Amino acid sequence: MMVLKRRELIYLTSGGQLIVCLILLGMLIAETHYTGIAALSATFCAVLFLSTVFLVRGFFEYVPKKDWDSIFLCWRLQRHDFNNHLQIIYTMIQLGKHEKALEYMNNVKRDNEVFSAVCRLEDPRIISEVSDIILSARQEGISIILDIPGDFSPENISQNTIKSLSERTRTLMAELKGVSGKRDLNISFAEPGKVKISSNALEGRTIVI
């Protein structure tokens, strides 16, 4: 038994609506006085239209399971890191290294501000992709800086832009592996509908998606 996907249902419903509209238009042009049939066709057309609206709305609000899995993984890793940080800070305090403990806490605070900024992206698909980038960068020892304006609107970011962000960022991270010293990656959502990626370690190279 063939199961139609959500996108196929949208096309099928829209196509059916178009056919009914053409039939109804033909009746009016031919001046056919079948009022009952015309009314029934108009009602059927309206039902198909509403069905299409709900299907399209559901299609664009659908978030793949892998994106949620990525977000939950990020949260679990943060909790694990938090426990590790507590143990390290507690050990430093016990050893009387108070200045070192304070410096360590400031570094942790600065690093975690990136994850706090991610939540302002609102859209789970964008959050998932950016969280993956942050985790991958941390594993490579690359610092991430996010620029997310207060009036950021996730509706302006297309799926193609999100995909390109992931591909371009990972390409830059691969290049940064061969760079010595401080390695950084800046991701800016300041310009509506676009994402800017740059790196001071790569002589200020900038990519706009």
pTM score of the predicted model: 0.55
What pLDDT is attached to residue 1? 38
| Residue 15 φ/ψ, nearest 5 degrees | -65, -40
pLDDT of residue 3: 39
Residue extents of the structural domains in the chain: 6-61, 65-208
> pLDDT tens across 169-198, in order?
989 998 998 888 889 899 999 888 889 999
| Residue matched to tokens 């978030």 | 63
pLDDT digit string (tens) for 46-77? Answer: 565 555 555 545 544 445 555 556 656 656 66
With CA atoms as reference, report the closest residue to 184 among 135, 129, 148, 144.
Answer: 144
Contacts with 49 (C-beta within 8 Å, 6 or more apart), sequence order: 17
